[in-house]
Amino acid sequence: MYGVRKVLGIDGGYKGFYAKNTITLTPKFVDDIHKRGGTILGTSRGGHDSVKIVDRIQDRGINQVYIIGGDGTHKGAAVIFEEIRRRGLKVAVAGIPKTIDNDIPVIDKSFGFDTAVEEAQRAIKAAHVESESIGNGIGLVKLMGRYCGFIAMYATLASRDVDCCLIPESPFYLEGKGGLYEYIGKQLKQNGHMVIVIAEGAGQELLSESLQSVDQQDASGNKLLQDVGLWISHKIKEHFAKKKMPINLKYIDPTYMIRAIPSIASDNVYCTLLAHGAVHGAMAGYTGFTVGPVNGRHAYIPFNRIIEKQNKVVITDRMWARLLSSTNQPSFLKPRDIAEAKKEKYPANGILDGKIVKTMSMN
């Protein structure tokens, strides 16, 4: 349509610009890629050197750069865009929101998220079957979400088999009134079995207290997490052993199996819309933008709006309230937590004449 003669794929993430050879992408080469999981281009963490990256863009005569990834990738794309602007190059930079975590703000959702939620159903179903099959059975499923619990929240809401969903945005506690142990005891007495879903970033503050772990990061600067699933399995078993109440806990960690599957049909269609949107935007002369739907309308969003914050579950919003009412789990919230969550949702600019401005939405 636009008469493009050559499309290059950069192998291995940002460092691939300067550390590896490019891959020529032809229609034949990419014909079947939507039927596979993972990435034919390869991925990496760290290695973002904007000067070297833009040098290589210049050397190769590239005039449009499409960058695919999550919130870290978009921060990197914004830096590349600035460097290109500083050099006065005629190179368009477009971001395509791809991450199962759904942690990119402004847009309705990222590519890959629905696929992850769909595949998580299989693990939750298995946890339900296993827990139902044995006395005082607990099925525990860990899902991805380093900083946000969207996969856990939507997978829980979709399944209706989950009795408790724990996410990073909603701190919880184990002991005492309103705590997790009390709730588990109650559920087991009532139903004889239960399912718990935990996002990998949940309860990390409890883990560091009990394991006295040191803060570690991956090459991209992301927090390296302890396995909260293993830790909480151990704590629950220990607690009920002390109480002399026999339980049967089965821990399922499907995280990488979920991330590795090919995308589902709705994500395939979404991906097509993102790809078309990005190409039409760059061809129309836009640059420094991410493409994606905002309230259902596909839009071009400047990088600075995308990178200013991370998308998180707002625990004072309706969606989390819907989850709480579907699981009947305790909210684990103290008044202080609610005040803090509200402060985050309605920052200073949301206040007009001393009153909080609320917008009506079904989100």
Ligand X SMILES: Nc1ncnc2c1ncn2[C@@H]1O[C@H](COP(=O)(O)OP(=O)(O)O)[C@@H](O)[C@H]1O
Residues marked as catalytic? 101
How many residues contact ligand X, by CB under 6 A?
18
The phi and psi torsions of 62 (rounded to 5 degrees) equal -75, 135
Could you say which of ligand FBP, ligand X, none residue 76 binds, taking C-beta under 5 to 8 angstroms by partner kind? ligand X
Q: Which does 112 bind (CB under 5 to 8 A by kind): ligand X, ligand FBP, none?
A: ligand FBP
Q: How many beta carbons lie within 10 A of that of residue 285, not counting itself?
A: 7
Verify binding: residue 144, ligand FBP, rule CB under 6 A: yes
Partner from ligand X, ligand FBP, none contacting 46, C-beta within 5 to 8 A by type: ligand X
Q: Judged by CB under 6 A, which of 11, 83, 101, 130 binds ligand FBP? A: 101
Using alpha carbons only, give the angle 81, 85, 89 rounded to the nearest 5 degrees. Answer: 105
Footprint on residues 69-108 left by ligand X (CB under 6 A) = 69-73, 75-76, 79, 99
Q: Which of 99/263 has CB closer to ligand X?
A: 99
The yes or no reply on residue 146 touching ligand FBP (CB under 6 A) is yes
Listed residue (264, 325, 311) closest to 112, CA to CA: 264
Q: Which of 11, 14, 66, 172 binds ligand X (CB under 6 A)?
A: 14
| Angle, helix 204-211 to helix 228-242, in steps of 10 degrees | 70
* CB nearer ligand FBP, residue 141 or residue 333: 141
**Can you tell me which of 220, 226, 248, 331 binds ligand X, judged by CB under 6 A?**
220
Strand partners, 198: 142, 166
* C-beta of 144 vs 252, nearer to ligand FBP: 144
In the shown chain, the binding pattern of residues 197 to 216 toward ligand FBP, with x for contact by CB under 6 A and - for none, equals ---x----------------
CB neighbourhood size of 118 (10 A) = 19
Does residue 259 belong to the site contacting ligand X (CB under 6 A)?
no
Rounded to the nearest 5°, which phi and psi values hold at 223? -60, 130
Q: How many Å apart are CA 31 and CA 262, to the nearest integer?
A: 14
Give, rounded to a whole angstrom, the gap between the first and last alpha carbons of the chain.
38
254 binds ligand FBP (CB under 6 A): no
Q: How far is the CB of 59 from ligand X (least distance, A)?
A: 20
- Dist. CA 303–CA 78, nearest whole Å: 6
Among 137, 145, 149, 203, binds ligand FBP (CB under 6 A): 145
Torsion of CA 12, 16, 21, 27, to 10 degrees: 60
Give the number of other CB atoms < 10 A from CB of residue 25: 15
Give φ, ψ of 271 to 5 degrees.
-60, -40
Question: What's the CA gap between 194 and 131, in Å, rounded?
Answer: 6
- Pick one of 64, 99, 156, 204: the residue that binds ligand FBP (CB under 6 A): 99
Pairing of strands 8-10, 22-24: antiparallel
> Which of the choices ligand FBP, ligand X, none does residue 79 contact, using the CB cut-off of 5 to 8 A by kind?
ligand X
CB-nearer residue toward ligand FBP: 44 or 248: 44
Question: What is the closest distance, in whole angstroms, from the C-beta atom of residue 119 to ligand X in the complex?
Answer: 18
Instruction: Reduce the DSSP state of residue 246 to 3 states and report it.
Output: coil
With contact defined as beta carbons under 8 Å apart, do 11 and 23 qualify? Answer: yes
- Closer residue to ligand FBP in complex, CB, 114/163: 114
Q: Which residue is nearest to ligand X (CB)?
A: 72
As a whole number of angstroms, the distance between CA 190 and CA 180 comes to: 15
114 binds ligand FBP (CB under 6 A): no
Report how far residue 283's alpha carbon sits from residue 97's, in angstroms, rounded to the nearest whole number.
19
The footprint of ligand FBP (CB under 6 A) covers: 70, 99-101, 112, 144-146, 200, 218, 259
Q: Which residues bind ligand X (CB under 6 A)?
A: 13-14, 45-48, 69-73, 75-76, 79, 99, 220-222
